[in-house]
């Protein structure tokens, strides 16, 4: 049986600091996988289309900032070592999405949201609270969050300008990954959250999407 590494307090501090820096400093996130849109040619779009596409990708980028913070907060308070390891592994995979979204935002002539530090702090607190409530609730929260992200991605795939194939390819790969993360969390013992909790999460996500589309 493979032994799960036990992190020292110093390890946890360094890992946490590294995650914060990679998440919030522009250009700091290095993807583990190549950008799926690297072979796609840039198509002509009107200024309005480019602005709209950039706004959608900015929302997705902030969503990945929130995901990093959630996973980091949960890994701090998770009870079982194997759950903590799963949170950290999921966070590493989400780094790909973070980097891909920022790359695309820059290509569209825009920038990430100025509100990212605020949403990171809020999401870290929510993640830590979920982890403290118990691993099955922490995993359930991951599943519910990823399911909500998938709904956003479905919506954005419909809203993207038809010429923006580069953004589309990125979002399609993100959808595959997020759906897998949700399934993994449930299979690992996560509870399915009741509808009222999911509605509250949906309301919070609306606040995020409305604010970061332009800011």
Cα(215)–Cα(213) distance, integer angstroms: 6
- Which residues belong to the annotated binding site for Fe cation? 64, 94, 97, 146, 178, 181
Cα(123)–Cα(164) distance, integer angstroms: 30
HEC per residue, 93-156: HHHHHHHHHHHHHHHCCCCCCCCHHHHHHHHHHHHHHHHHHCHHHHHHHHHHHHHHHHHHHHHH
- Which residues belong to the annotated binding site? 64, 94, 97, 146, 178, 181
Residue that the structure tokens 């290095």 belong to: 30
Tell me if 56 sits within 8 A of 159, measured CB to CB: yes
Residue that the structure tokens 């509808």 belong to: 195
């Amino acid at each position: 049986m493979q032994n799960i590494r036990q992190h020292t307090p110093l390890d946890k501090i360094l890992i946490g600091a590294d995650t914060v820096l990679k998440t919030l400093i522009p250009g700091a996130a290095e993807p583990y996988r190549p950008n799926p849109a690297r072979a796609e040619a840039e198509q002509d779009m009107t200024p309005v289309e480019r602005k709209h596409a950039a706004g959608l990708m900015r929302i997705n980028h902030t969503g990945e900032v929130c995901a990093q913070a959630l996973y980091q907060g949960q890994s701090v308070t998770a009870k079982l070592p194997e759950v903590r390891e799963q949170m950290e592994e999921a966070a590493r995979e989400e780094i790909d999405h973070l980097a891909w979204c920022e790359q695309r935002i820059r290509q569209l002539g825009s920038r990430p949201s100025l509100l990212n530090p605020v949403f990171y702090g809020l999401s870290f607190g929510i993640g830590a609270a979920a982890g403290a409530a118990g691993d099955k609730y922490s995993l359930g929260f991951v599943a519910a969050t990823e399911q909500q992200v998938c709904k956003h991605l479905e919506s954005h795939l419909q809203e993207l300008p038809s010429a923006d194939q580069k953004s589309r390819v990125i979002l399609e790969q993100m959808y595959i990954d997020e759906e897998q993360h949700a399934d993994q969390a449930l299979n690992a013992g996560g509870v399915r959250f009741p509808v009222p909790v999911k509605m509250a999460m949906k309301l919070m996500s609306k606040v995020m999407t409305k604010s970061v589309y332009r800011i």
